[in-house]
Chains A and B, each alone.
Chain A
Amino acid sequence: MSEKEIKNLEEIFEARIARDDKIEPKDWMPEKYRKTHIRQISQHAHSEVVGMLPEGNWITRAPSLRRKAALLAKVQDEGGHGLYLYSAAETLGISREEMYEQLHSGKAKYSSIFNYPSITWADIGAIGWLVDGAAIINQVALCGTSFGPYARAMVRICKEESFHQRQGYEIMLTLSRGTEEQKAMAQDALNRWWWPSLMMFGPRDEDSPHTAQSMKWKLKRKTNDELRQQFVDQTVPQADILGISVPDPDLKFNSETGHYEFGEINWDEFWQVVKGHGPCNKERMEARVGAWEGGAWVRDAAMAYAEKQEKRKVAKAS
């Protein structure tokens, strides 16, 4: 194709997105659109899958059967969400194996929040309330994204995820209405998860070079800072109901704007964790790679069995 032809196709493509047409896998798309989507969707998938680890840590130690069943269901959902997203990325021509390889080699990133440890039961409450709360804000914004398979996966995920946040908040509510010790646990979990949750929305707009392009492709419908503000505005009153305090001395409500003003995020910490130096980066990857390698013989055996059965069927028919 000549450069002029490509330019023409690009113009038609941009116009389609501008009028809210969805792009489907077999449609022509600019190479950069394809690559950006593979990157973002696969990272999103990796986040779901790695996100199972900090919570999985507490399944065997959940304080009651009710809590245990809910946590199991939540973690199972996350595995499913990873699968929806991997499938969406696969429609763009990357294989599942390649994506795993990118995760395991450290080439692909996942949400930094999962590199923090879940050290008490209250962390399971805080993760559901804050981490899933932040994820839902991001994901609701993505339901209208331009790439059809990604948008459809998001709609499904948002529908299923609404219970995740509620179960987390309920845990926090129970703890904060419990003994002094339980209340202290809830406060401690909020102290540790608050700032990393704000970091989930990514760098400040002025430090986010891809924002303009992503907005154009509707891969982002709102900027990082807009989404972060929305999260703070809706979460602070929820902390008030719990009777625990957000660990930010600069936090105050501005009655003129109707928004909360909040303190500076520790961006050095953010970049450290992104670059692999968070408290649990190494542990998380060891768990993933271990599961993949340890499961290799099961995958091979299942495939060998399927092939054997298929051969028998063919032999019987002939």
Chain B
Amino acid sequence: MKKEWPLWEVFVRSKNGLEHRHFGSLHAADAEMALENARDVYTRRSEGVSIWVVESKYITASNPEDNGELFEPAQDKVYRHPTFYDLPDEVKHM
């Protein structure tokens, strides 16, 4: 075989009102085939009402090695959470 079919990532909206969620991946020659295959593989039991496919090579992902730099700074910023602020119990609706 000359060329392997590219890899696609599949995102499915399970029902209107919910976001598309990553369901998995598959190989297909083009976008149309990727959609058809995604329909057959991931929605055989009414799991979805809408499908997105995107060729995997277009996804830029963060690297776990950078996790410290990227995500740790959020850990000491407790003042971004409502529970950081002390209010008397009698204050309602806040």
Which A residues fall within an 8 A CB radius of B? 24, 26-28, 73, 76-77, 80, 83-84, 87, 90, 95-97, 152-153, 160, 296, 299-300, 302-303, 305-306, 309-310
* Most chain B CB neighbours (cut-off 10 Å) among A83, A95, A152, A160: A83
Closest Cβ of chain B to A41, distance in Å, is 14
A87 near B26: Cβ-Cβ < 8 Å: yes
> Contacts A302-B33, A305-B29 given: A80-B41 contact, CB under 8 Å?
yes
Partner of A306, one of B7, B29, B40, B63: B29
Those 3 A-B pairs whose CB atoms lie nearest each other, nearest first: A306-B30, A302-B29, A306-B29
A96 near B64: Cβ-Cβ < 8 Å: no
Q: Give per-residue flags for B60-80: 1 if the beta carbon is below 8 A from chain A beta carbons, else 0.
A: 010111000000000000000
> Contacts A76-B44, A87-B24 given: A303-B63 contact, CB under 8 Å?
no
Closest Cβ of chain B to A86, distance in Å, is 9
B5 near A302: Cβ-Cβ < 8 Å: yes
Residue of A nearest to B10 (CB): A87
> Contacts A87-B25, A96-B27 given: A300-B45 contact, CB under 8 Å?
no
A27 near B64: Cβ-Cβ < 8 Å: yes
Which residues on A sit within 8 Å (CB–CB) of B41? 80, 83
Which residues on A sit within 8 Å (CB–CB) of B64? 24, 26-28
Which residues on B sit within 8 Å (CB–CB) of A77? 44
- Bound-state CA distance A76–B25 (Å) is 17
Which residues on B sit within 8 Å (CB–CB) of A97? 1, 4
- Bound-state CA distance A310–B41 (Å) is 25
A26 near B2: Cβ-Cβ < 8 Å: no
B27 near A303: Cβ-Cβ < 8 Å: no
- Bound-state CA distance A99–B63 (Å) is 26
Q: Answer yes or no: B92 CB below 8 A from chain A CBs.
A: no
Residue of A nearest to B2 (CB): A300
Q: Give per-residue flags for B1-24: 1 if the beta carbon is below 8 A from chain A beta carbons, else 0.
A: 111110100000000000000001
A303 near B2: Cβ-Cβ < 8 Å: yes
A303 near B5: Cβ-Cβ < 8 Å: yes
Closest Cβ of chain B to A118, distance in Å, is 24
Q: What are 25 A-B contacts with C-beta separation under 8 Å?
A: A24-B64, A28-B64, A77-B44, A83-B26, A84-B24, A87-B25, A87-B26, A90-B25, A97-B4, A152-B24, A153-B24, A296-B1, A299-B29, A302-B5, A302-B29, A302-B30, A303-B2, A303-B3, A303-B5, A305-B29, A305-B30, A306-B30, A306-B33, A309-B30, A310-B30
